[in-house]
Amino acid sequence: MMNEMKKRETADLLRKAAPEAAVRTDERMAEHTTFRTGGPAAVFVEPASAEDIKSVIRICRETGTDHFVLGRGSNLLVSDSGYDGVVIHIADSMSDIACYDDVIKAEAGASLAAIAAAAKKNSLTGLEFAGGIPGSLGGGLRMNAGAYGGELKDVLVSAVVMDKDGNISEQKLEDLGMRYRGSRIADDDLIALSGVFRLHPGDITEITEYMQELAGKRRSRQPLEYPSAGSTFKRPEGYFAGKLIEDAGLKGFRVGGACVSEKHCGFVVNDRNGTSQDVLAVMRAVREKVLSEYGVLLEPEVRFLGNGMEI
């Protein structure tokens, strides 16, 4: 357990090792997840560069401190008691986006929506599907984010990654093992630092209209008015998670302040100031009922952080 003295000592070591990084203690994770739940991270670091990340990981290894790499928290459920380690938050301070002809290069902290907007601004087509995905590029590369028939692997050329020892390398698409909601980045617990995409010249009016069409579909079909992590479970082969959940009679099923969305059963939402335990309890009940009714084991698309956060 990281007591107050250990927190201060760890924070001081990190400030010295990565002077450009922002370092705080007892940062509420509810402020950094789209579920809007989660207790405090013992130490919270916002690196400004890959060298900062390398230095933070080195300090964590030398002091035996657990660490977790966070993007925009759009696919994460954090324990109500928080996380007794160092959270490395790759976000705005590592979010540059550059466009060269038909190529876009972006840092891992850039939001997928911002990258899609940059593509549109430069009349490039191929990333329209990403305009409504709330996560960052780093998390998106880890899970090969996708929507409406498009996936990052469809336009990705390469990614720069860091391994557990701090070694940095550029990996081509064919070496990244990109697949439905997975990749070698996740398998090997690599840290995505940036990505390069090759798109195609298009008409900005048509690109804009298509993105508006997709945004309209999202608003009409998804419970965007409530905190959630998007699709809670991965699509089982041969099925749709939302339909299985609805057919099992779980539409609106509630535990405390969290429930299965009435609008889209594939979403568990925090509609009444729920806790992470509420969300977790809903997920567990849904998983058990669907398995019992249909023999299908739903695999969470959501990641978990903190003690007791196992489904």
* 3-class SS letters over 238-301: CCCHHHHHHHCCCCCCEECCEEECCCCCCCEEECCCCCHHHHHHHHHHHHHHHHHHHCCCCCEC
Query: What is the band of 1 on the pLDDT scale with cuts at 50, 70, 90?
Result: confident
Q: Is 179 tagged catalytic?
A: no
Residue of 55, 74, 158, 231 marked active site: 231
Q: In what order do the strands lie in the sheet with 254-255?
A: 254-255, 258-260, 268-270
Residue type, 94: M
Check residue 7 and give its pLDDT.
95
Task: Tell me the backbone φ, ψ of residue 221, rounded to 5 degrees.
Answer: -110, -20
Mean pLDDT of 10-20: 96
pLDDT at residue 58 greater than cutoff 90:
yes
Q: Which ranges in 30-183 belong to alpha helices (H)?
A: 50-63, 112-121, 137-143
Within 10 A of 5 (CB to CB), how many other CB atoms are there? Answer: 8
Mean pLDDT of 254-273: 98
Q: Domain locations in the chain? A: 4-92, 95-220, 223-305
Tell me if 4-92 shares its fold with 95-220.
no
Residue of 72, 142, 181, 287 marked active site: 181
According to DSSP, the β-strands at 168-172 and 97-100 are unpaired
Q: Which ranges in 96-183 belong to alpha helices (H)?
A: 112-121, 137-143
What's 223-305's CATH class? Answer: alpha beta
Q: What is the pLDDT of residues 71-112, one digit of tens each?
A: 999 999 999 999 999 999 999 999 999 999 999 999 999 999
What is the CATH code of the structural domain delimited by 95-220? 3.30.465.10
Take residue 105 and report the two structure tokens written for it. 């290069």
Mean pLDDT of 124-142: 97
Q: What is the pLDDT of residues 169-219, one digit of tens each?
A: 999 999 999 999 999 999 999 999 999 999 999 999 999 999 999 999 999
Check residue 178 and give its pLDDT.
97
pLDDT at residue 38 greater than cutoff 90:
yes
Check residue 231 and give its pLDDT.
95
Q: What is the pLDDT of residues 211-248, one digit of tens each?
A: 999 999 999 999 999 999 999 999 999 999 999 999 99
Q: Is 301 tagged catalytic?
A: yes
pLDDT at residue 310 greater than cutoff 90:
no
Check residue 255 and give its pLDDT.
98
Mean pLDDT of 151-160: 98
Query: With b meaning 16 or more CB within 10 Å and e meaning fewer, what string describes 226-261?
Result: bbbbbbbbbbeeeeebbebbbebebbebbbebbbbb
Residue of 9, 246, 293, 301 marked active site: 301
What is the CATH code of the structural domain delimited by 4-92? 3.30.43.10
Take residue 242 and report the two structure tokens written for it. 């939302």
Q: Please state, for a pLDDT cut of 90, what percent of the chain lies above it.
A: 98
Q: Is 49 tagged catalytic?
A: no
Check residue 204 and give its pLDDT.
98
Cα–Cα distance, 26 to 6 (Å, whole number): 12
Mean pLDDT of 160-177: 96
Question: Nearest Cα to 49, choosing from 73, 20, 24?
Answer: 20
Residue 295 burial (C-beta neighbours within 10 Å; 0-12, 13-18, 19+): exposed
